[in-house]
Amino acid sequence: MKKNVMFLALAMSLPAVADDAGKLKAKLDAIAGLKADFQQQVTDINGKLIQQGSGELALAQPNRFYWHLQQPDESVIVADGKDVWIYNPFAEEVSVLALENAIAASPMTLLVRRDETSWARYNITLDKECFQIAPKTEEAGVQQVSVCFKDDTLTLLALKDTQGNLSQFNLSEQQPLTDSDKRLFQFEVPEGVSIDDQRPGQEG
């Protein structure tokens, strides 16, 4: 009898979970191209503030992502649709990774990806105006990503890593992408910067 009750409860929960994933897809489809400023706040497992910062992000489907943390320590991440470029100005180094290797393990990829294989890797549930995205395996470097909206406006991204640190990014000044904004997804290696090429078949 217990088995029947458990099976019934599971069967009833599956459509709701699938529907939550569909709702998130619909929200993201409505903002297929976005540029915004963000304020970053990082707290540790005890809730202690360990870092604050600010920057700019942009995203576009498919597989294009721009992340520029301007303060306190500048860093840039650009996904150009094929490769991911991670630039550290202080170290004067840029790492290049194949898109699949760089972001396949992170729930943040769902912001710009639509293939069913990627979405199948995560459990998605809706809690009020926030979608909670959790990887189904322990291979990912994060425990959970929260994607929050106010009506149809993306307002907050939050990421909890495996150490319990919580990074929150409050978005503001959201704007649709213009034609000139497409340059954000094209990374040019600055002169004098060393390249660590980690793509398959390449040498660093």
Taking only the tens place, the pLDDT of each residue in 47-100 is 999 999 999 999 998 889 999 999 888 999 999 999 999 999 999 999 998 887
- Tokens 């998605």, residue? 124
- What are the tokens at 88? 């550290």
* Cβ neighbours, 10 Å, residue 3: 7
Q: How confident is the model at residue 30 (pLDDT cuts 50, 70, 90)?
A: confident
Tens-digit pLDDT profile for residues 157-197: 999 988 899 999 999 999 999 999 989 999 999 999 999 99
Kindly state the tokens that stand for 145: 């990503």
